Amino acid sequence: MWGGRKLSSSGSRFLGAHRSAFRGTQADSPRLTTSAAYSKNQLSWTLQIKPSVFSEYRIMCFKSYSMSFACLNRLKSYRLPWTRLYSTSRTTVDSSEVKTFLALAHRWWDEQGEYAPLHSMNDLRVPFIRDNLLKTVADHQPGKPLSGMKILDVGCGGGLLTEPLGRLGASVIGIDPVDENIKTAQRHKSFDPVLDKRIEYRACSLEKIVEETAETFDAVVASEVVEHVIDLETFIQCCCQVLKPGGSLFITTINKTQLSYALGIVFSEQIAGIVPKGTHTWEKFVSPEKLESILESNGLSVQTVAGMLYNPFSGYWHWSENTSLNYAAHALKSSMQEHPSPAEFALKEETEELRIETSTNSGLLWSCSIYLHSGIQAEQQGHCWE
């Protein structure tokens, strides 16, 4: 994954053999080829490491003119862009969150119960998803504006958002790690033959289906989900991977502010009982700025961020310019997907680290070359005196 990295020593011509040594067994070492080229009084050694997967540390030693010096390089593990990104053993699901929602799995469709705010939120989030998706298509069918679109509803719960999207004509896959949630969702959709054909439910986490559904969906929806995952960056990366180029990611979540702690946890959970105690963890809340940073680092361009406010007395939501509590975000995946070579991919991932290492190693090699040059000159002067 590294190619054409040069280590040069300037000064008078110096002779000698070089050797390379690596910690560990030879079989564990990456393949290394070397070439030497003379240019007037300069000797340039070019080290080319063929694409492999490296790990931890390796020591490369060079010996010349009875002296040796070592250059320490840290070689991280690099992942080729066309290989599977995530192991199925890696998860974004918090087991403690699963227990919380498992206890409420039978309550999803009680419009006056614990999930009443989510039922009411559909008045905002369904049009938000629909209208932004329609901006990406030239025409649509009346009554079924999302017909022909494939949508993934991540953390679908009992299907509160999945069903309205299906009624708009979309083919929707709803996934949730809580098996009882999926059973509730399947039971409810079975009452509507139309939805039964358009909606599919699976009891699994997002990372479990990344490989089989890569670049499959026109839209991914994660509504009131990201504040419950244990690894937000991996979650966003998985969302990006299953999206088609140009696809849309929709997120609704809670901002990480003092106000969200006071109202979202203390008031809503501990005082008013709007949501069950322990539903949310303030440390998992994410600000729009941090979310936007993560999205953009994964090739997603944020189009809209809008505040959402809930009135616990009326039971309704409305849009707001204030994002200090709840907010919705819409991002588009870049339609231009590059496929860099292994070396380019590695350099893009670790540009800053390699720059620092290069600077450090160059200083070390420069000092060594001066020292060697001085030694050679001293020996030549000794021969002259003889």
Annotated ligand binding at 119? The verdict is no
Annotated ligand binding at 330? The verdict is no
Parallel, antiparallel, or unpaired for β 300-311 and 326-333? antiparallel
Across the chain, the runs of DSSP E, i.e. the strands, are 5-9, 32-39, 42-49, 57-64, 67-74, 150-154, 171-176, 199-203, 217-223, 243-254, 300-311, 316-320, 326-333
Annotated ligand binding at 233? The verdict is no
Query: For the chain, first and last CA: distance in Å?
Result: 50
Radius of gyration of the chain (CA): 29
Annotated ligand binding at 228? The verdict is yes
- Give CA angle at 84 (224, 245), nearest 5°: 60
122: which strand partners?
A: none
Annotated ligand binding at 223? The verdict is yes
Annotated ligand binding at 187? The verdict is no
**Beta carbons within 8 Å of 377's beta carbon, 6+ residues apart:** 12
| CA distance readout (Å), 253 to 153, 205, 228 | 15, 18, 10
Annotated ligand binding at 215? The verdict is no
60: which strand partners?
A: 71
The residue written with tokens 């001066």 in the block is 370
Cβ(76)–Cβ(53) below 8 Å: no
Annotated binding site for Mg(2+): 224, 227-228
Annotated binding site for S-adenosyl-L-methionine: 125, 155, 176, 223
Annotated binding site: 125, 155, 176, 223-224, 227-228
